[in-house]
Amino acid sequence: MASMAKYELPQLPYAYDALEPHIDAKTMEIHHTKHHQAYTNNMNAALEKCSPDVQKKDIIEILANLSQVPDDQRGAINFNGGGYDNHKLFWHNMKQNGGGEPGGAVADEIKKSFGSFATFKEQFSAKTVAIQGSGWGWLVYNPKSRNVEYKSMPNQTSPRTEGLVPLLGLDVWEHAYYLKYQNKRPDYVASWWNVVNWEEVDKRLSKAK
């Protein structure tokens, strides 16, 4: 399988301390260099055991068509491929001095689906705080309904596995916040809104449409 493209750990688009005080530098460094690295390594190991017709596809395409992955690798690809892609999205849907309210198409779509930005924020926060155990809260684009929707996903399962396009993700695994927030997941979620990169979400939305 020497021809298979190995994935590398994606670089962060900013320094580890860029999201302070909302997300601390130590958490960012461990999250990126240990956790994201592990998903990347384990995804590569699972892909090595797949057939060339799976290997030649991009991981985004693989996650959207998990039934085509061999039974014995599907769980590993779902978890580690999802972990690879989710974190890649997560780093970029945050930025220093982010937050506020979105403009343009994202603002219109959120208003259409949730009534107002305030309602969206409230629902996204409440549902993501309430995720049992480890998982992610997402704003997704649903190509079938042509609407943006909220979707929580367990563990590292990607919204792509359900035909949804991830626009904005929030990691609520304890590794994402425990050093600074300990058991106070609601405080982490409330603070995270200050680093949301709405321009990136807008780009993903226009690409999804």
Q: By rule CB under 5 A, what string of x and - marks binding of each residue 145-184 to Mn ion?
A: --------------------------x-x--x--------
Name the residue with the smallest CB distance to Mn ion: 171
In this complex, which beta carbon is closest to Mn ion, that of residue 120 or of residue 173? 173
What is the nearest approach in angstroms of Mn ion to the Cβ of residue 36? 7
Nearer to Mn ion, 132 or 145 (CB): 132
Closest distance to Mn ion from the beta carbon of 65 (Å): 24
Please enumerate in sequence order all residues whose Cβ is within 8 A of that of 10, keeping only pairs 6 or more positions apart, or say none: 36, 87, 88, 91
**102 vs 135 by CB, closer to Mn ion:** 135
CB 35 within 8 Å of CB 178: no
- How far apart are CB 111 and Mn ion at their closest, in Å? 30
Binding residues with Mn ion: total (CB under 5 A): 3
User: What is the torsion angle, in degrees rounded to the nearest 10, for the CA atoms of residue 96, residue 190, residue 123 and residue 146?
Assistant: 10
Residue 42 burial (10 A CB sphere; 0-12, 13-18, 19+): middle
CB of 4 to Mn ion, least distance (A): 25
Can you tell me whether residue 73 is helix, strand or coil?
Answer: helix
Nearer to Mn ion by C-beta: 85 or 171? 171
**Contact flag: residue 138 with Mn ion (CB under 5 A):** no
Tell me the CA distances in angstroms from 134 to 29, 67, 140, one per residue in order: 20, 24, 19
Looking at the Cβ atoms of 7 and 173, the one nearer to Mn ion is: 173
What is the tally of helices (H) and strands (E) in the chain? 11, 3
Considering beta carbons, is residue 124 or 136 the nearer one to Mn ion? 136
Instruction: Give dist(CA 18, CA 37) in Å, integer.
Output: 20
CA distance 46 to 31: 21
Tell me how far, at minimum, the Cβ of 109 lies from Mn ion, in Å.
26
Touching Mn ion, residues 185-204 (CB under 5 A): none
Write down the least CB distance from residue 27 to Mn ion, Å.
10
Can you give 74-105 as a three-state secondary structure string? Answer: HHHHHHHHHHHHHHHHHHHCECCCCCCCCCHH
Residues lying near Mn ion in the complex (CB under 5 A) are found at 171, 173, 176
